[in-house]
Amino acid sequence: MTASYDFLDTSPVIPVIAIEAIEHAVPLAEALVAGGIVNLEVTLRTQHGLDAIRLINEQVPGANVGVGTVCSAAEFDAAVEAGASFVVSPGQSDELFERALLTDVPFLAGAVTATEVMAAKSRGFNILKFFPAGTSGGAAAIKAFAGPFADIQFVPTGGIKPENAQEYLSLSNVRAVGGSWLTPGDLIKGGRWDEIEAIARQASSLNA
């Protein structure tokens, strides 16, 4: 496995994006990038996920578009084919680990228990999504993992907001955080891209 995770150092926050209408994909990505947020996790939660990845990849040069909510090897392949440069899963499975090991695409598997961290680590994955962070012990749980798992870093998501993002980012074993707070549905529906850019600018000023 030769995947590089250096992209995680370019922005402290990864927006978790669900595209409800395909025409939102490009202006949303442009607003986030203009605000300094370049790593974009477009989820497969809506039917537009793959098309959105394709369009952003083609039309928003500053964006580093990845895919989220990947639960199978078939989804992994389809997203990479569409142009996803990183892959995020809420959990982990043998088929996902096996697929990721066959590629150079960085893969963030989900883990919130010591057993799950050990399973991922045994497959060679040392940077993990911690989801759902808020209901899985939050920053205190991640901090506790620094003892037994000094070589593991986390990207927590789920329940992270501007008010608590810095608490997570201050931990030595947190590489970045993710969340949907940068992409409120009402702002997207209203085409209020300037306001999304402002949220992104605030998020990009957090310290990882």
Interface ranges with ligand 3PG (CB under 6 A): 16, 68, 90, 131, 157-160, 178-181
Name the amino acid, one letter, at 10: T
- Contact yes or no for 25/55 (Cβ under 8 A): yes
Conformational region of residue 117, where left means phi above 0, alpha means psi within -120 to 50, and beta covers everything else = alpha
The pair of three-digit structure tokens given for residue 140, joined into one six-digit string: 């205190």
CB of 16 or CB of 100, closer to ligand 3PG: 16
DSSP 38: -
Minimum gap (Å) between residue 73 Cβ and ligand 3PG: 19
Q: Reply yes or no on whether 189 is catalytic.
A: no
CB of 1 or CB of 208, closer to ligand 3PG: 208
Minimum gap (Å) between residue 167 Cβ and ligand 3PG: 15
- C-alpha distances (whole Å) from 165 to each of 44, 64, 197, 201 are 24, 21, 18, 14
| Residue 11: half-sphere exposure toward Cβ, Cα within 13 Å | 24
Task: Name 179's bridge partners.
Answer: 15
Minimum gap (Å) between residue 136 Cβ and ligand 3PG: 12
CB of 157 or CB of 204, closer to ligand 3PG: 157
Name the active-site residue from 23, 30, 116, 129: 129
CA distance 86 to 161: 23
Minimum gap (Å) between residue 26 Cβ and ligand 3PG: 22
Q: Reply yes or no on whether 20 is catalytic.
A: no
CB of 5 or CB of 181, closer to ligand 3PG: 181
Q: Which position has the token pair 């590089």?
A: 4
Task: Name 39's bridge partners.
Answer: 64
Name the active-site residue from 41, 75, 116, 195: 41
Q: Which residues are catalytic?
A: 41, 129
